[in-house]
Amino acid sequence: MAALRGIPRGRPTVVDGLALGVLPEARALAWRAPLVALVHQPLASDPALDAVQAARFLESERTALSGCHRVIATSGATANLLIETYDVPPERISIVRPGTDRAAPSPGSVGNAVELLSVGSVVPVKGYEVLIAALGTLRDLPWRLTIAGDRTRDPVTAAQLDAAIVARGLGQRVRVLGAVPNTAVHELYGASDLFVLASRFEGYGMALAEAISHGLPIVSTRAGAIPDTVPGGAGLLVPPDDAGALADALRRLIADTRARRELAAGARDAALRLPTWSDAGRLFADAIEHAARTHHFGRRDAEETGAVVLPPE
């Protein structure tokens, strides 16, 4: 809050939702500068939270967002959630999907096994234990899985993932790399045949968009914004937390080269419609400018009429 209090009067300020969501008091500072919230995933939407924690975050976020002149959502699904659950007026929301770098289509693997790739931090929302449970039923098929993602954010979940791999007898088939540099991630995309993500929620799905940009077929869930990010022709989507349905989708694509190729073609087509970083940058700048105009006009009107400018209710 000290940093927010030091913002020069009238200067547009973007606050990431991960910080703003626990700063309900930021609402009281909206009178001095236009506040813009960038919301990737509302804190209260984390499936790992219990009911009490979720309610606390929901109230905190709703209060903080009520003081923002503009709210940038990373997907239509997130925008709808903000409208329906957080009472953010639709006219105050801008949808800005993250940009994606253009990439050459993945040439795929060179061995006999189908190379599966999953990218994302090892945290409960990514559903890795569901993925391992699904793969444990597919030992009759030729596949290998690589998981790339930060293992330090939730050591308990990381340890549970390791234990699940051992318990299912998949130690020779699954490698967990931890966090890797961006260049290494792109190399992994290029050497893979199929991208899989068992998320319980995604506010956009950056790893999914990157996989599509590499022309990889997708197996994922219908959680959060994933159906917005992965069009039907590029992947198979199943209900979250359904290991059986996930296994069925993986079995179909591991066993059927033609089906993988058809979805890969759909992914390559979808990649052409992904926003670039320049596209995202223009929309982001427009949202900030809109917030600045709204704040400026509000203050000017108040000054001309002699009204007192108060924080938003």
pLDDT-based confidence at residue 10 (cuts at 50, 70, 90): confident
Tally Cβ neighbours within 10 Å of residue 65. 25
Residues 45 and 74 sit within 8 Å (Cβ to Cβ): no
Check whether 312 has a pLDDT greater than 80: no
Lowest mean pLDDT among 40-44, 144-148, 153-157, 254-258: 40-44
Q: Which two tokens stand for residue 121?
A: 């931090």
pLDDT band at 297 (very low <50, low <70, confident <90, very high): very low
pLDDT single digits (tens) 205-220: 999 999 999 999 999 9
What the chain holds in terms of domains, given with CATH numbers, is 2-99+277-305 (3.40.50.2000), 114-271 (3.40.50.2000)
Burial profile 237-258: b = 16 or more Cβ within 10 angstroms, e = fewer: bbebebbebbbbbbbebbeeee
Q: Lowest-pLDDT range, 11-15, 57-61, 70-74, 169-173?
A: 11-15
Which of 105-109, 165-169, 249-253 shows the lowest mean pLDDT across its residues?
A: 105-109
**What is the spatial distance between Cα 63 and Cα 25, in angstroms, rounded to a whole number?**
8
Show the 3-state SS of the chain: CHHHHCCCCCCCEEEEHHHHCCCHHHHHHCCCCCEEEEECCCHHHCCCCCHHHHHHHHHHHHHHHHCCCEEEECCHHHHHHHHHHHCCCHHHEEECCCCCCCCCCCCCCCCCCEEEEEECCCCHHHCHHHHHHHHCCCCCCCEEEEEECCCCCCHHHHHHHHHHHHHCCCCCCEEEEECCCHHHHHHHHHCCCEEECCCCCCCCCHHHHHHHHCCCCEEEECCCCHHHHCCHHHEEEECCCCHHHHHHHHHHHHHCHHHHHHHHHHHHHHHCCCCCHHHHHHHHHHHHHHHHHHHHHHHHHHHHHCCCCCCCC
**What would the two tokens of residue 90 be?**
């639709």
The percentage of residues in the chain with a pLDDT greater than 90, rounded to a whole number, is 75
Q: Which of 280, 292, 289, 288 is nearest to 101 (CA)?
A: 280
CB-based burial label for 259 (10 Å; 0-12, 13-18, 19+): middle
Contact between 42 and 82 under an 8 Å Cβ cutoff? The reply is yes
Tell me which range, 22-26, 212-216, 305-309, is most confidently predicted by mean pLDDT: 212-216
Whether residue 76 has pLDDT greater than 80 = yes
Cβ atoms of residues 293 and 286 within 8 Å: no
Residue 221 confidence (pLDDT) above 90: yes
Nearest to 9 by CA among 32, 26, 28, 31: 32
Under 8 Å between Cβ of 199 and 125 = yes
pLDDT, greater one: 241 or 102: 241
Residue 65: name the closest of 5, 16, 9 by CA. 16
103 φψ region: left (φ > 0), alpha (ψ -120 to 50), beta (else): beta
